[in-house]
Structure 1
Amino acid sequence: MNKPIIGVTSHVELDSKHTLSNDYIQAVIQAGGIPVILPIGIDEDVSQLVTKLDGLLLTGGGDIDPFLFREEPHPKLGTISPGRDDLEPAIIKEMLDADKPILAICRGIQILNITLGGDMYQDIYSQHETQLLQHSQKAPRYHLAHFVKAKEGSLLASIAGTTEFKVNTDHHQSVRHVPHPLDVSGVASDGIIEAIESTGHSFVLGVQWHPEGLAVRGDQISKRIFTRFVESCSEKGV
């Protein structure tokens, strides 16, 4: 049986230089998929591209243009990539329409939520109403920094095999209001949304942490996230 082809988005520095951590690539390969890095500037060809892909991995990176959710820039907003903000919603919509699997990580969970009509905190530390944990850890990427509580009966809980586990963390923005058919399936102890998933698609999972950096270093829950994702891509490609 052919391996599934997974489109992988990348970080774009001021719309000029594409970069991507090798952890994303290796996590997909180890889970049995073939990763293909997607560049910006192919918006008009998204429909054709989606027919060739079995799944989509939305990766982390810079901040998101708040105009996508009808806000103006907060003083703490970081660097954005207009080209990436154009491409990713377009390909997300096509993948959802085709019911092809999506795994969204860090920035990915945020752009997924926004594409479906949700919004986000431009800066959790100045906009969230409660005292927060440290969400940009001062430790190596593979360090497990705080707990996530998964919703009973959720896709996330079924993958993890538990409703509480530790994750790494590196973000200052986060999902805020979550629209249907998305559902919150994981939260940190301070209330920050850590995972969302679709109740209307075969496999759509977004996580705020970075399982790719954990999966390639042997973390079992992180490996299962990628394995279940790639397995779902294989099923849709049959």
Structure 2
Amino acid sequence: MKPVIGVTPSVENASNMHFVSIANISAIEGAGGTPIILPFVLSKTQIRQIASLIDGLYLTGGNSIDPTLFVEEPHPKLGEINPIRDQYEVALIQEIQKHQKPILGVCRGCQILNIALGGDMYQDIYAQMEGELLQHKQHAPDGHASHYVYVEEGSVLREIAGMEKIKVNSRHHQANRKLGEGMQICGMASDGVVEAIESREESFLLGVQWHPENLAIEEDAVSKNIFHAFIEACKERS
């Protein structure tokens, strides 16, 4: 039986349309999982039921995150937010944590995972971080790997990647800052931007700032390994 993976969609505020890119679905299917797209519901009963039904949670990319979740006012460079998505994902992450089921978050998903665990983030790295930064919002196709990430020795990500330096794509202007409870940095760009976080515990909790789903469909080995490791962890839990 293939593990069932709950996928959180993006939402368009103007139309309230929910959507997921085919790359996300293909990456999960390619790794051996059965993806289901989750609706945004705020009922605690429904969130508990969803958490009990799925074997793992996949947090996709998307718009910005409400900074009041980590007790900050909105920065002028903050992008469009959807408060319902923010509240839903935080509640669902915390419920999934109670079940100790695997979570994989990409880009925004990496950030909301960290915030749900008590961390915070830069609302705009170019305005809030010191020093000269890399181009983190690449002017290139989604499947092009544009800069390097240095992977921490002894980390789960290092075990998955099998190397200390990997090349990733990049489409973000925000990044994690203070880490959430039980999390550690496992990947960083040369300019000091946190690119990957993972749990210090045994459970599979991994967030990456890039979009491995776009690289996986281009047959990038590390990206495919990330999805395979996630699905294998979900199989063990199921």
TM-score of the two chains, using structure 2 as the length reference: 0.97
- Aligned-partner residue type, residue 68 of structure 2: F
- Shift of the alpha carbon at 1:216? 1.2
Show structure 1 runs of 4+ deviating over 2 A.
41-44
Alpha-carbon distance between aligned partners in 2 of 1:22 and 1:43, rounded to the nearest angstrom: 28
Is the counterpart of residue 236 in structure 1 residue 204 in structure 2? no
Q: SS of 2:150's equivalent?
A: strand
Q: Residue 187 and residue 97 in structure 1: after superposition, are their counterparts in 2 closer, same or farther (change >3 A)? A: same
CA deviation profile, 1:51-110 (whole Å, cap 9, x unmatched):
110000000000000000000111111110111011100110011111100000000010
CA deviation profile, 1:178-226 (whole Å, cap 9, x unmatched):
1330000000000000000011242000000000001111000000000
Q: Give matches, 1:167-182, under 5 Å.
A: 167-182=168-183
Provide the identity percentage: 54
- Aligned-partner residue type, residue 220 of structure 1: A
Contact 1:4 / 1:33 at 8 angstroms: preserved in 2? yes
Alpha-carbon distance between aligned partners in 2 of 1:129 and 1:115, rounded to the nearest angstrom: 26
Alpha-carbon distance between aligned partners in 1 of 2:218 and 2:40, rounded to the nearest angstrom: 30
Q: Give matches, 1:5-20, under 5 Å.
A: 5-14=4-13, 16-20=16-20
**Which residue of 1 is the match for residue 37 of structure 2?**
37
Alpha-carbon distance between aligned partners in 1 of 2:117 and 2:202, rounded to the nearest angstrom: 13
**Which residue of 2 is the match for residue 136 of structure 1?**
137
Contact 1:77 / 1:123 at 8 angstroms: preserved in 2? yes
Contact 1:105 / 1:208 at 8 angstroms: preserved in 2? yes
- Aligned-partner residue type, residue 30 of structure 2: Q
Alpha-carbon distance between aligned partners in 2 of 1:43 and 1:107, rounded to the nearest angstrom: 23
- Aligned-partner residue type, residue 170 of structure 2: T
Q: Residue 43 and residue 166 in structure 1: after superposition, are their counterparts in 2 closer, same or farther (change >3 A)? A: farther
CA deviation profile, 1:130-174 (whole Å, cap 9, x unmatched):
210000000001111100000000000000000111000000111
**Which residue of 2 is the match for residue 60 of structure 1?**
61
Q: Any gaps of 5 or more consecutive residues in structure 1?
A: none
- Aligned-partner residue type, residue 150 of structure 1: V
Q: Decide which moves more: 196-205 or 133-142.
A: 196-205
RMSD: 0.9
- Shift of the alpha carbon at 1:42? 4.4
Alpha-carbon distance between aligned partners in 1 of 2:203 and 2:176, rounded to the nearest angstrom: 22
Contact 1:131 / 1:190 at 8 angstroms: preserved in 2? yes
Q: Give matches, 1:1-238, under 5 Å.
A: 2-14=1-13, 16-44=16-44, 45-237=46-238
Alpha-carbon distance between aligned partners in 2 of 1:157 and 1:130, rounded to the nearest angstrom: 27
Contact 1:121 / 1:127 at 8 angstroms: preserved in 2? yes
TM-score of the two chains, using structure 1 as the length reference: 0.97
How many residues are aligned here? Answer: 236
- Shift of the alpha carbon at 1:13? 1.1
Q: SS of 2:173's equivalent?
A: coil
Contact 2:41 / 2:47 at 8 angstroms: preserved in 1? no
Contact 1:174 / 1:192 at 8 angstroms: preserved in 2? yes
- Aligned-partner residue type, residue 8 of structure 2: T
Alpha-carbon distance between aligned partners in 2 of 1:220 and 1:125, rounded to the nearest angstrom: 31
Alpha-carbon distance between aligned partners in 1 of 2:228 and 2:206, rounded to the nearest angstrom: 13
Alpha-carbon distance between aligned partners in 1 of 2:63 and 2:203, rounded to the nearest angstrom: 28
